Amino acid sequence: MINRKRLAAGACGLLAALAVGLFPAGAAADDEPADKTPAAAPKVELVLDVSGSMRARDIDGQTRMSAAKQAFNDVLDAVPAEVRLGIRTLGADYPGKDRKVGCKDTKQLYPVGPLDRTEAKTAIATLAPTGWTPIGPALLGAADDLEGGDGTRRIVLITDGEDTCAPLDPCEVARDIAAKGIHLVIDTLGLVPDAKTRDQLSCIAEATGGTYTSVQHTDELSDRVNQLVDRAAEPVVTPVATQGATQCAKAPRLEPGLYSDRETFGQHRWYRVDVLPGQELRASVSIGADRAVNNDYGVLLRAVTVHGREIVRGSEAGNGRTDVISTGLRYPKPESADDADDTDDTKPAAESVCLEVSNAFAAAPAVKTTPGMPVELTVDIVDAPDESSDVAAFGLGRGWWLLAVLALTGLLAGVLWGWISRWRVAVWRTN
């Protein structure tokens, strides 16, 4: 029995040695740049509604305020160390009926910076539902709180009702913040919201590329706020707003990046990308079906020349309810002999490639067609693949050598395992 264990251990050791020899542990680390510049610290401010309506007892048998406090405590325990967190309140101090005073009732409860969890929890514990709902002024204050630095900035607004301080429309405030180009994202969470609250909070989030979430339970609130804070620590690329044209000649020229647009049912939108010889255009498009649509729909992405000749296309079709449908394409522009002979002073001219995005969505007459459905278009320009070079083997390595090494490893492992199996059978028969 001891001999069997030793033999099995030896076999495992041999396979491990083969693996270490073929795929050294330091290989991945060597690919990383040695002098990475540390990223700027991300900033997040949680904006909490403390207005009188937060007394309502309709979230898991407790008041909305109690649910928010519990969620905040859970979130504060899980904030990543690199995040600079702040807390701002609205409607927390003035209980009176003077509108002018009530609509100024917003203050920073905890400054944006390194988090002292005990201090922040103590500040949250003192809150009690009090006054008005000045969402617009609170967003302006939060934007000021997050000024400075090159890191990502995110506001997370938690409220149970729409703004009560018109004519300062919080949706217009969000649009003004987005227009400043400071890349500040506002995410909104509605506690047991009604239709008007949903519309307003959706508009605020949409204006800055953020998200809106309806919350009915305490654990949903905790989970969602945690996700948003984590997203600030590991930010995603914010799309650049653009507007496609109705024809290629008038289309906007796009550089590599991520873009957002809107497209109504059955509409065609055009964009232009310049591609040099020896480069490859990679493009993809996603359309969000943010409302009820009929069955049998599709999205098409075409690359054509300025003269209308189709180069390549990508399409995707669906049947039934979905949230997002996507497709993409690749267009490598070969480099000719004339292009290769050009000097740096006479670089070859770029080709203008027209990208057409169209959809085959339809909906019932009661469904609104405006605004159009959200579109995200990704454009990338890379060096075109060289036909004479090795081909990547599914991200594991390049060329035939890796395939040969894997085959040899499998052969040796198979022979060794067969020898062990025969030895075990022989031992069993002798016993």
| CB neighbour class for 191 (10 Å; exposed up to 12, middle 13-18, buried from 19) | buried
> Does residue 27 lie in a domain region?
no
Claim to verify: residue 136 and residue 89 sit in the same structural domain = yes
Angstrom distance (rounded) from CA 424 to CA 414:
15
DSSP-derived secondary structure for 220-286: HHHHHHHHHHHHHHSPPPPPEE---BSSGGGPPB--SEEEEEEE-TT-EEEEEEEE-TTEEEEEEEE
Give backbone dihedrals phi and psi of 282, rounded to 5 degrees, phi first.
-120, 125
Tens-of-pLDDT digits for all 431 residues of the chain?
444 444 444 444 444 444 444 444 444 444 444 444 556 889 999 999 999 999 999 999 999 999 999 999 999 999 999 999 999 999 999 999 998 999 999 999 999 999 999 999 999 999 999 999 999 999 999 999 999 887 889 999 999 988 988 788 999 999 888 877 677 899 999 998 888 898 899 889 888 878 888 888 999 899 989 888 988 887 666 688 899 999 999 999 999 999 999 999 999 999 999 999 989 999 999 887 777 788 888 999 999 999 999 999 999 988 765 567 889 999 998 776 565 555 555 667 889 999 999 999 888 888 888 888 889 999 999 987 765 444 443 344 445 666 677 778 888 888 888 888 888 777 777 76
Based on the domain organization, do 189 and 56 belong to the same domain? Answer: yes
Are residues 418 and 331 located together in one domain of the fold? no
User: Which of left, alpha, beta for 205 (phi over 0: left; psi -120 to 50: alpha)?
Assistant: alpha
DSSP 392: B
Beta bridge partners of 377: 259, 285
Residues 290, 426, single domain; the answer is: no
| Shared-domain flag, residues 194 and 319 | no
Write a three-state SS string for 108-155. EEEEEECCCHHHHHHHHHCCCCCECCCHHHHHHHHHHHCCCCCCCEEE
Q: Report the alpha-carbon distance of residue 218 to residue 200 in Å, rounded.
A: 22
CATH of the domain at 332: 2.60.120.380
Q: Does residue 367 lie in a domain region?
A: yes
Q: What share of the chain is helix, strand, coil (3-state, %, to 5)?
A: 35, 30, 35
Residue 153: domain span = 43-233
Q: Give, as one character, the DSSP assignment of residue 335.
A: P
Whether residues 350 and 252 share a domain: the answer is yes
pTM, full prediction = 0.55
Q: Which of 174, 204, 233 is the last residue of a domain?
A: 233
The reply to whether 221 and 252 lie within a common domain is no
- In the sheet with 297-304, reading across from the earlier edge strand, the strands are 268-275, 351-359, 297-304, 310-318
259 and 363 belong to one structural domain:
yes
Do 244 and 183 belong together in one domain?
A: no
Same domain flag for 155 and 282: no
Q: Do 331 and 360 belong to one domain?
A: yes
Q: Look at the chain and report how many structural domains it folds into.
A: 3
Residue 134 phi, psi (nearest 5): -85, 75
Q: What is the pLDDT of residues 61-71, one digit of tens each?
A: 999 999 999 99
Both 166 and 272 in one domain: the answer is: no
Paired sense of beta strands 84-90 and 43-49, if any: parallel
Query: Residue 203: which CATH number?
Result: 3.40.50.410
* Span 245-266, pLDDT tens digits: 999 999 999 999 999 999 999 9
